[in-house]
Structures are given as structure tokens and as C-alpha cells.
Amino acid sequence: MALTDFIKQELNRPDLTPKLWTAWREGYGFADFKADFIAGLTVAIVALPLSMAIAIASNASPAVGLKTAFVAGFWISVLGGSRHQIGGPTAAFAIVVANIIGQFGMDGLILATLMAGLILMAAAIFRLGAFLKYVPHPVVIGFTSGIAVTIFITQIGAFFGLKIAGNPTEVIERLHAYWAALASISAPTVAVSLFSLFIIVVFRRLRPHWPYFLIAVVATSIAALLLHLPIETVGHKFGEVKTTIPDILFPTITLARLQALLPSALTIAFLAGIESLLSAVVADGMTGNRHRSNAELLSQGFANIMSAITGGLPATGAIARTATNIRAGAKTPMAGILHATLLLLMLLVAGKLTAYIPLATLAAILMVVAWNMAEIDRVIRLFRFSATSDRLILVVTFALTVFADLTVAVEVGIVLSAIMFMHHMSEAAEIEETTSDNLGNLRESLPKGVEAFQIRGPLFFGAAGTFVDAIERIDTPPTHFILNMEEVPFIDAAGIAALLDVVGRLRKSKTTLIITGLRPNARKQLAKVRATTSQLSGVRYATSDAGALDLL
């Protein structure tokens, strides 16, 4: 089969069908369009200041954030597997993107985002959407909280108007720079920052459905302009925002650059996949619908490719904007398409006005976003009710995210979780002398020279050593050895090796091994071993311990 035929066949799979197509097949009328338009407009108003703030936190211009919001947001809604998903730049990417831009420039970010898009599309085609749900909860909370703290720290300078030397990227260096620049605190900047926070907090409490971020942006921009406040604005730092359709860009591609950017691309793909599927699950819970994980990953991948070649940032499903979309009454993915279209119109019509937005206001917005992102309640709950191993994983992942690198944090967090899981599983796996079965007291009826043991739990590499050690503790070699495996759900390669080792030891002592109660999976695995080696020859099998006694 040709590659093109394979791709066509895979893209026609039901689990990759966009929810937009499903909605249209079910029927789409004017009432649906009206509801979607109102929701799309509401979300666009929310997304406008957020997209600019996230871009600035990523060391990119506000125009890049707006560009990402309408390009990626459009394709996520067109191809996505969720009826209500709203895509765009999110705070989760800010630190990763800032590091990539600092090290490789904007061209490097474009290439990394392009690679991440291809990785996400491959994950969708190979049905890996369901596997992302296995990422351990403490790891997700750890790196999310770590990103939130890092974003909060990076905005302290803009919040207080500090004049810091250079552009420190490490958290400790940045805190030192803040300390050294304390004398440069700007009173007008602090006033604008506090006024922004006041507007956001008050409107969030009294009018939670109003676009409080946009209200803060408009109010502080007008105040700063009318009062001629000596504060930094978007125009001062980034110049005039371009109000044109984005150009198509292609990054410089070399093998060395691909190798250097691969870890960053994997991190972007991981974050995009995790956050988009979390957002889709939240949407399902609010609406009662069910998303298609693989279709969602496919849309995220294609959207990131389109964002990359138009000079945008990485994008994913945004939980807060998706929830706003649902609360505003969205019916179909058309709401997301309209949100993207309206954002583009806002940029074309009023894009030049963004130059007057105070950076202090955007810093205040990002601090609120970081506070929400930290989800302190979930962290406290995990520390109060979870196992010590979970608390350790959270702390390590959090610390590495803040003080080292997000890529390293995720890798170490997942590996540490796997080690902890294997430790718990090996402790749960038991091998002990069989005392009875469901037919009565077995041990009392065992003939002389017969031993009976039972394994509980998976026989995998974490428990294989325990299994061999238990057999070695038998003082006098029996004539027959009954091994009950009815509570063994699976056996991995190390477990099979341990079993073959035990078979070899028993054969040397002229002991006959009788295995009882094999489950289908374990039986299938041992059948494969018997087909390729004679090491299991002489081993006998029974359905129960009582049946094993009949073979003596």
C-alpha cells in the first residue's frame, strides 16, 4: 500500500472524524448559528487580552499571540474532536517558548512547533490519544504549578516597572536582578498594576460573566493615555502592531537543528496533547458530550503546523476559554471558528490601538492567570490525602520545572512515577505457601514430599527476584511442586526468565512442577515460550490445586 493510500485510509477512520462534520450532519440552523455567534464573540473578547499577555510572557510580540489565536483557533475548531473546544496560545507554553526563542530565535521556535505538530498528528494516526490519560496526576500538578510560579516571577519586573539589566532567564538570576533593581520601582506603573488587579478581582466577584480582562485593558489604557503616565506600553516595547494577514514562513532545516530542537518539540507536543485532552474532558463534563481523543490530537497537530508556518506560537485547547464558550451557549464547533474569525477582524480593524496597552496591565493579567493555573486547592488536597510517593513526585517535578527545565521535569517526573509504581507493584506481588483452596484445606491433604505455593499479583521484573528468593528458601527439594498462578494477571519478560530459572532449579533437583489456575493472558504467554524453547518441557498443568493433586 502506498503512503498516500495509507494516510487517506487512516484519515477516514471514525475516531478521526471532526465534530464539526458530525454537527453539520445532524442539522445546522439559524438558531444554532445565532448561539454560536454570541459564544464566539464572547470568547474572542476574552481571548484578545489573554493572547497578547501570553505572547509577552513568551518573549514574543503581542501580534504573534493574536496571530496564533486566530490561525490555530480556527483549525482546532474545524478539525477537532470536541464540540466546544477553543484553541489558542496558553500560559503552559510560555516558559518553554521563551527558552526556545532565547536559545534558537523565532526561527527555531517555528521549527520546533512544526515538529511538535507532526508528532501530534502521528500520535493521532497511531491511536495514542488514550495513552495520555496515563500521565501520573502528581506529574501534571507538579509541572503545571511550576509553570504558574515561573510565570508569576517573570512578571514581577513589569508589575513594578523595574529597570533590570539584561534579560535573565533563570529564576534565581531573575530574582537577583529584581533585588538589584529595587530602587527603580515606578510609582505610576505600580498604580496601574494595582488598578488592573482591582478591576479584575472586583468584576470577577461581582460580574463573573463580564470580560474583566478586556475591561482592565481598556480602562487602564484610557487612563494612562489621558493622564500622560510615564509607563511602558506595548508600543514602547514592541512598536506598532502589524494589522495584516500573516505571511507564510519556512524555517531553516538542518539535521543539527532538528536534533537540537527535538526535546523542545516533544515537550510542546506533550503539553499540547495533555492540555487539549484535559480541556476536552472538562467540556464533556459540562455538556454531557464525548470527545474523540485522536481527532483532537490530529487537529492540535495540524493547527500547530499552520501556526508555525505563519510565525505563530504553539497552541492547544484552552480550558478557561472552552468553559467560557460553553457558558456562553455554544452549540457546535462553529463557535470556535467564529471566535477565530472575529479575532482576525479585531486585529485588522483595531490592531493599532493595542500599542497603547500598558505592560503593567498585561503583567497583572498574567499574574491572575498564574494564580488560577497553580490550583493551590488541588496541591493542598494531594499533600493531605495522597501517599508519600505522590507528594515526592509532585515536589520533584515542581522544583525541576521552576529551577531547571520543564523538559527535564516531565521526564524525571514520569520516570520517578514509573519507579514508584513498580516498587508498589513488586510489594503487592506475593508468593507464599498455599494453605487452602476453594475445595477445603489443601495443605493438610498434601502428600509427603509435595510443596504448594501461590503467586498473587503480576509476575514482572519488579517481583521476579522475590519469586526466585521464595523458591530458594525451601530447605528440602520436594518431589512435586504445585505453583498456583490464578491471581497472576500477566507475566513480562523478566517474569518468564524467573519462571524458567525456577524450572531449571527444580529440574536439577528432580522435582516435578505443576502450574495451576493459569489466566488466559498468562497461558498465552507461556504457550509462546513452549513454542520457542524446550525449557518448559516436563512442566504439568491443572485448572486448580485440587486438580493438581490428581496428577500426583
Per residue in 254-298, pLDDT tens?
A: 899 999 999 999 999 999 998 898 888 888 888 888 888 899 999
Burial of 209 (0-12, 13-18, 19+ CB in 10 A): exposed
pTM as predicted: 0.76
User: Both 345 and 473 in a single domain?
Assistant: no
The answer to whether residue 438 scores a pLDDT higher than 60 is no
What 8-state DSSP symbol labels residue 233?
B
User: Does 424 reside within a domain?
Assistant: no
Per residue in 116-170, pLDDT tens?
A: 999 999 999 888 877 777 778 888 888 888 888 988 998 999 999 999 877 777 8
Cα–Cα distance between 453 and 475 in angstroms, integer? 14
Cα–Cα distance between 477 and 217 in angstroms, integer? 82
Residue that has been written with the C-alpha cell 492567570 in this structure:
369
Amino acid at 9: Q
The answer to whether residue 238 scores a pLDDT higher than 90 is no
Per residue in 507-520, pLDDT tens?
A: 888 889 999 989 88
User: Both 134 and 224 in a single domain?
Assistant: yes
Q: Give me the phi and psi of 433, to 5 degrees please.
A: -65, 135
User: Does 461 reside within a domain?
Assistant: yes
Domain count, the chain: 2
Domain's final residue, options 376, 397, 412: 376
Provide the 10 A C-beta neighbour count for residue 377: 8
Pick the range with the lowest mean pLDDT from 209-218, 254-263, 376-385.
376-385
User: Does 384 reside within a domain?
Assistant: no
Per residue in 454-512, pLDDT tens?
A: 888 887 766 666 677 777 777 788 898 888 888 888 887 778 888 888 888 888 888 89
Average pLDDT over residues 344-350: 85
User: Both 443 and 299 in a single domain?
Assistant: no
Cα–Cα distance between 103 and 90 in angstroms, integer? 21
Per mean pLDDT, which of 133-137, 376-380, 397-401, 429-433 is the most reliable?
Answer: 397-401
The answer to whether residue 240 scores a pLDDT higher than 90 is no
Domain's final residue, options 341, 359, 376: 376
Average pLDDT value for the chain:
86
Q: What is the DSSP string of 463-529?
A: HHHHHHHHHHT-SS--SEEEEEEEE---B-HHHHHHHHHHHHHHHHTTPEEEEE---HHHHHHHHHH
Of residues 316 and 545, more confidence is placed in 316
User: Both 370 and 446 in a single domain?
Assistant: no
Cα–Cα distance between 93 and 50 in angstroms, integer? 13
| Residue 439 banded pLDDT, cuts 50, 70, 90 | very low
Average pLDDT over residues 102-119: 94
Range of the domain at 37: 3-376
Cα–Cα distance between 126 and 257 in angstroms, integer? 26
Average pLDDT over residues 169-173: 83
Cα–Cα distance between 365 and 416 in angstroms, integer? 34
